[in-house]
Chains A and B, each alone.
Chain A
Amino acid sequence: MDMATARPVERVWDRYFLFDLGESAAIFDPVRLETVYLDAAETRAVREGDEGQITATLSEFGFTPGTGEPVDLPGDVTNHLAHLGINGDPSHIAGYRIVVTDKCNMKCSYCFVDTNTGAPDLTEEDLRLGLDLLFEVNQGRPEVTYQWFGGEPTIRPDLMMAGDHYARELAEKFDVGSIQPTVVTNGAKINDDLIAHFKEFRYGVGVSIDGPPPTNANERVLLSGKPADERIHRNIQRMLEAGIHVGANVTPTQWNVHELPAIVDYIVSLGIKFLYVNTPIPAQGTWIAHGPDLARNLYQARMRALSRGGMLFSHLDRIYQALDSRRPRVFEHLQGCGGVNAALLPGGRISLLDLNWRDPRFIFTLDEVRKDRSLLGRAAKDLHPFDGCKTCPALAICGGPSQNERLLRRTQVPTDDFCGFFNEGLALAVADNTALQ
């Protein structure tokens, strides 16, 4: 079967979708996220509308003919979410993206951060007060995670080191089992002191790489315009030799989206076995990768990573997870524990959105957040804001564009790339029932 042709081709009883899998097919309930694989004879019965035969078969799996009432898929998803006890209200701040500085030694056009504006860095006092709040609200939990972010956070190793030592003190004070610092870095400024520090605090280091040097050079070069690949690769080797967990963060662009499977090979050749492909961020108002192409290439890259003894995670996994667990994934801001990851900003402020640090509707002082937990609910988006959502098979998986996406694009209406990604990704995930990852 050509994966590119696996699309929902028919509606069954108005509310289900039939995905063509060659002679056989899969029938998919977009509300309960149930998928049932039909053999060739059953598929023929469904296609030929042999209701007597298919009703018995499908009712066994909870697929029932309509009642004649108009179908309201968004309303049914809302009811199903209520039944499952899922709402978009975060239980607590689960972690931080700590915005240390906006200074960066690179200037990638797809970056959503305004870098090198001359704005002040985080102060040590900002950091301590912010961490105080994080550990207060996570008292007694087994682990607290936070991520150092910039600009390029390794421009301020002093703050990272001071923050980690303070977090360790707070973990003891608030009976938190362990801390898990991570950092998102371009890898160009990693030195011996940082490596020793990463090792001491068991860091996870996510190095941003978009592919082999010629591909990487489309975006990821130093401010001078020169590439830094050799230096970055040396630093990766030094970290791996020191036993540090190193992953690669790949940003999909028009330059590399068709190369993603080959990029897996390249990154594995550097000794990195874990890849994270970022969700496209419409920093310039639109995705810079074609949505359906991205889904297809992620699918192949994911399998390629598995066949190389590695793993690749991406937004495609949101779709797999929804199908495998039958659990809607409409609220992407919620972490597995039910909390939200916020951004800790200079000036004692917090943004409830980890990728948007300007909109005053989402930015609060530490004290405001401490006093009014209900503010966290503002991170939740309105579901299904767009007419197209009403008939979309992925409506219980994406729920419409994220708050971050809406703010960056200044509209609730998704792009064709966004919807194309989820529709194509769903078709691919329905066709792949191997539950490999």
Chain B
Amino acid sequence: MAAPRERKDDHLLYADAVGSRGKSGVWFGEREAFQTRQHDVMEDVKEKVSWVPLENAVMAVSLDPPGIVVMAPNPSLPGIIVLADGATPENSEQLKSQYTSIVKEVMDKQGLTVETEDDEAGGSQAG
């Protein structure tokens, strides 16, 4: 189904090379400030949802197809959760399959049993 590009207006640096703050990494050096704000946001979000911490989660950045994949140990079951966002359903599906295979390959190598099933969140779980 047709979908518009995600709208984003909060780009932190403007276009050209002359922006001193961008060019010298000043803005990046200030990320502690936004990380504090992110922490505060998450604290409030936690008040509104049921949640468990995802420890040892990692985010992989894929070039082809472009997208991100969050992989984390399932906090309550033995498997590894793989959540992919490739912006289009086709890309997301491809990323999910690609990274689930990587997890399975690692588990195979370690002699662990691998079973795969789709979870309700649209991600995969290997384990």
User: Which residues of A line the B interface, CB within 8 A?
Assistant: 1-3, 21-24, 26, 34-40, 42, 57-58, 60-61, 95, 97, 145-147, 180, 182-184, 203-206, 245-249, 272-274, 276, 278-279, 299-300, 303-304, 306-307, 310-311, 313, 315, 317-318, 320-321, 323-326, 329, 332-336, 341, 354, 402, 431-436
Residue from B8, B14, B62 within 8 A of A324 (CB atoms) = B8
Q: Which residues of B contact A325 (CB under 8 A)?
A: 7-9, 11
Q: Name 22 interchain pairs, CB-CB below 8 A, sorted by A.
A: A23-B90, A36-B3, A38-B2, A40-B90, A58-B2, A61-B4, A145-B21, A146-B20, A147-B18, A147-B23, A249-B24, A272-B25, A273-B25, A274-B28, A276-B23, A311-B28, A315-B17, A323-B5, A325-B9, A334-B14, A432-B87, A433-B6
Q: Which residues of B contact A21 (CB under 8 A)?
A: 88, 90
Residue from A37, A145, A276, A311 within 8 A of B88 (CB atoms) = A37
The 5 closest A-B pairs by CB, nearest first: A247-B25, A245-B29, A204-B24, A204-B26, A274-B25
Report if B67 contacts A (CB, 8 A).
Answer: yes
- Greatest chain A CB density within 10 A among B1, B6, B28 is at B28
Residue from A22, A273, A276 within 8 A of B17 (CB atoms) = A276
Cα–Cα, bound, A8→B31 (Å): 37
Chain B, interface residues (CB within 8 Å), range = 35 or more
Q: Which residues of A contact B9 (CB under 8 A)?
A: 324-325
Q: With A37-B88, A39-B89 in contact, do A307 and B60 touch (Cβ < 8 Å)?
A: yes
Please classify the interface of chain A as helix (H, G, I), strand (E, B), loop, or mixed, using the class held by over half of its residues: mixed
Q: Which residues of B contact A58 (CB under 8 A)?
A: 2
Cα–Cα, bound, A61→B88 (Å): 17
A35 touches B17 (CB 8 A): no
Q: With A39-B89, A324-B9 in contact, do A205 and B24 touch (Cβ < 8 Å)?
A: yes
Report if B15 contacts A (CB, 8 A).
Answer: yes
Report if B13 contacts A (CB, 8 A).
Answer: yes
Q: Which residues of B contact A307 (CB under 8 A)?
A: 60-61
Q: Which residues of B contact A246 (CB under 8 A)?
A: 25
Residue from B17, B60, B67 within 8 A of A434 (CB atoms) = B67
Report if B65 contacts A (CB, 8 A).
Answer: yes
Q: Give the nearest-CB partner of A397 in chain B.
A: B15
Report if B78 contacts A (CB, 8 A).
Answer: no
